[in-house]
Amino acid sequence: MFHQISEKYKAIQASICTSLEACDRTGIFSDDPWERSIGKGMTRVMQRGEKIAKAAVNYSSVQGLYNDELSKVGGSKGTFYQATGISSIVHPVNPYSPIIHFNIRYFQLSSGECWFGGGIDLTPHYVDEREAIWFHSRLKSICDAYHPSFYHDFKTEADNYFYSPHRDETRGVGGIFFDMLKPSNDLTFNDLLEFTLDLGKNYAPIYNSIITKNHTKPYGNRELMWQNIRRGRYVEFNLIHDRGTKFGLLSGGNCESILVSLPPMASWEYNFQVEKFSEEENTLNMLKKGIDWVNLPRYE
């Protein structure tokens, strides 16, 4: 069973890479298989593409004992675990294109417990409300096909998860996030597996639509500078708060694969202030929890 899921996830990795390569037109993914005591994986990375500055699509299949440190990030001590998953990130060239992140994972413990986790979330350097509404609507329609409460629940979890308390800002406009998703009366194990696969199939097409609309927008030094400031906030979130990064580094994962989510470039300026009534200020105002994107007026 574990092996079958792992193989299905691997196929998702291949389809995401093919789709992102077709979108970028010049960038190519490298293949970097790895094996260590913890398990094996395949890190696929595109750098310096035409539209994509850096993209990663990682597959891994790992196992080990839950120790003190790992139990802090989920699960109980003393049990043997197996985990397989795909995680992906895209840092675009154009500051008007957003960063996107996707993850699906399956966990299985020796106690018999098992669950799925994952999500998709969008981090625009410049928030475009219509784009955020469209993005959330797409996620909602995938979720709705499985369970009427999925979108609402997982959107709320994303708001809470992708949040930096030290800045009091969300990482971006959110999306969906779920963890410890287990079979229930409503949904079989297979339904949940299909749900994660469905997210995997939709991730690249959703992002391709977004990047295609933005990649020709003109920009200059101001926008590049702001992009690097926002990328710096992304680094802060990933290194200070993200449980996936912590789990990976603590469990003895491949550090280059784990940290491939970091942007090609980032900057920190002390006490950077945005101009009043600027696009940058508008973006900061949108980095809040609880915005009901799918029910916002669409100005159309």
Q: Annotated active-site positions, please?
A: 101
Q: Which is nearer to a copy of itself, 148 or 252 (CB)?
A: 252
Q: How far apart are CA 68 and CA 98, in angstroms?
A: 37
Residue in the block written with tokens 């990682």 = 58
Contact call for residue 1 and a copy of itself (CB under 8 A):
no
> Which of 268, 278, 285, 290 forms a contact with a copy of itself (CB under 8 A)?
268
Q: Is 195 exposed, middle or buried (0-12, 13-18, 19+ CB in 10 A)?
A: buried
Site size toward a copy of itself (CB under 8 A) is 30
CB of 194 to a copy of itself, least distance (A): 32
> Which of 211, 263, 280, 283 forms a contact with a copy of itself (CB under 8 A)?
263
- Lay out the site mask for a copy of itself across 55-94 (x = CB under 8 A, - = otherwise): -x--------------------------------------
CB of 251 to a copy of itself, least distance (A): 11
Q: How far apart are CA 166 and CA 133, in angstroms?
A: 27
The residues, any chain, with a CB within 8 Å of residue 83's CB and separated by 6 or more, are: 60, 61, 62, 63, 105, 106, 107, 108
Q: Which is nearer to a copy of itself, 109 or 250 (CB)?
A: 250
Q: How far apart are CA 17 and CA 249, in angstroms?
A: 25
Residue type at 15? S
Q: How many residues does the chain have?
A: 300
Q: How far apart are CA 229 and CA 155, in angstroms?
A: 26
Tell me the backbone φ, ψ of residue 193, rounded to 5 degrees.
Answer: -60, -45
Pick the piece of the chain touching a copy of itself (CB under 8 A) from 6-14, 72-80, 191-199, 265-273. Answer: 265-273
Q: Which is nearer to a copy of itself, 50 or 269 (CB)?
A: 269
- Lay out the site mask for a copy of itself across 217-256 (x = CB under 8 A, - = otherwise): -----------x---x--xx--xx--------x-----xx
Q: What is the DSSP string of 122-170?
A: EE-SS--HHHHHHHHHHHHHHHHTT-TTHHHHHHHHHHHHSEETTTTEE
Token pair for 70: 């790992």
Q: Which is nearer to a copy of itself, 73 or 197 (CB)?
A: 73
Token pair for 1: 């069973």
Q: How far apart are CA 247 and CA 73, in angstroms?
A: 7
Q: Which is nearer to a copy of itself, 45 or 93 (CB)?
A: 45
Q: Which is nearer to a copy of itself, 214 or 228 (CB)?
A: 228
Contact call for residue 32 and a copy of itself (CB under 8 A):
yes
Contact 96, 280 (CB under 8 A): no
Contact call for residue 37 and a copy of itself (CB under 8 A):
no
Contact 170, 163 (CB under 8 A): yes
> Which of 33, 78, 148, 264 forms a contact with a copy of itself (CB under 8 A)?
264
Contact call for residue 45 and a copy of itself (CB under 8 A):
yes
CB of 169 to a copy of itself, least distance (A): 11
> Which of 197, 224, 266, 284 forms a contact with a copy of itself (CB under 8 A)?
266
What DSSP state is assigned to residue 249?
Answer: H
Interface residues toward a copy of itself, by CB under 8 A: 32, 43, 45, 47, 54, 56, 166-167, 228, 232, 235-236, 239-240, 249, 255-256, 258-260, 262-271
